Amino acid sequence: MKIHALFLLSTAMLLAACSSTDVHTDYNPRANFANYQHYQWSADSGADKTVSPFVIEQVKASLKTQLDSGLYKLADKNHDFLVRYYVTQAADTVDRSPRLGIGLGSFTGNFGMSTSVGVPLGKDKINRNVQIMIDLLDGNTKALSWRGAMVIELDDQDPKVNMDRIDRAVAEIWAEFPPK
C-alpha cells in the first residue's frame, strides 16, 4: 500500500512539474465587461528599455489580432475601454546541462543504501524571460478593470520562435477575458 501511495505522489509531482506557465489575472468585480465593445490603445503602453522593440511590436500585433477576433472594434473617440500592454524583463532562469549519473548501491535484508555522482555533459544555458501584462481600463474613469499577465521564455537565436511564443502567450492571456 505504501508503494502505491508513493507511486501516486511521484506521478502527481511529475505532472505538476510538466505544467505550463500560468496566466495570472485580476479584475474589478464591479466592472461591466458586457459593455466593452469599442476600444482605444492607451498612450502609456510599452516596455522596459531592455526589451527589444521587435518583441513590443509583436505583443501589440498579437493583442490586436485577439481583439479583432473577439469582435471588438478600434474607436477614435467613443470607446468603452482602453487597452494597455506592458512588457518587462523577468528573472532569467538557468537550464542545467544534461548530466550523466553514475551510481552504486546495495540492498540487504530490510536495508538499502546507494550513492551517485552527476557529471555535466555541457554548459548551463541562461534563458531570457519577459513578462507580458495586458490591462483593460474603463473608458470613462480610466480605472483598471482587468489585468492578465504571463512570463515567457525568449529564444536568443531565432526571432520566429519568439513571435510564435508571444502569439501563444497573448492568446492564453486573452482567453481569460472576460472573467468567468
Residue 140 sits in a domain of what CATH number? 3.30.160.670
Lookup: cell for 57: 511590436
Q: Which amino acid is at 98?
A: P
Q: Which helix (H) or strand (E) holds 67?
A: helix 53-69
pLDDT reading at 9 higher than 50:
no
Task: Tell me if 102 is assigned to some domain.
Answer: no
Residue 93 belongs to domain spanning? 22-97+125-174
Task: Tell me if 145 is assigned to some domain.
Answer: yes
| Weakest mean pLDDT among 23-27, 38-42, 70-74, 148-152 | 70-74
> What's the pLDDT band for 21 if we cut at 50, 70, 90?
low
Please count the structural domains in the chain: 1
Task: Tell me if 55 is assigned to some domain.
Answer: yes
Task: Tell me if 161 is assigned to some domain.
Answer: yes
CA 156 to chain centre: 17
Predicted pLDDT at 90: 87
Task: Tell me if 56 is assigned to some domain.
Answer: yes
Task: Tell me if 6 is assigned to some domain.
Answer: no
Predicted pLDDT at 41: 96
Neighbouring C-beta atoms of residue 169, cutoff 10 Å? 24
Sign of CA dihedral 34, 40, 46, 52: positive
Task: Tell me if 159 is assigned to some domain.
Answer: yes
- Measuring CA to CA, which residue among 176, 163, 102, 81 is closest to residue 133? 176
Residue 80 phi/psi, 5-degree rounding, is: -90, -30
Taking only the tens place, the pLDDT of each residue in 44-68 is 999 999 999 999 999 999 999 999 9
> What's the pLDDT band for 11 if we cut at 50, 70, 90?
very low
Task: Tell me if 77 is assigned to some domain.
Answer: yes
Calculate the alpha carbon distances from 115 to 99, 101, 144 in Å.
Answer: 15, 10, 55
- Measuring CA to CA, which residue among 2, 9, 39 is closest to residue 145? 39
Name the one residue in this structure whose C-alpha cell is 518583441.
Answer: 55
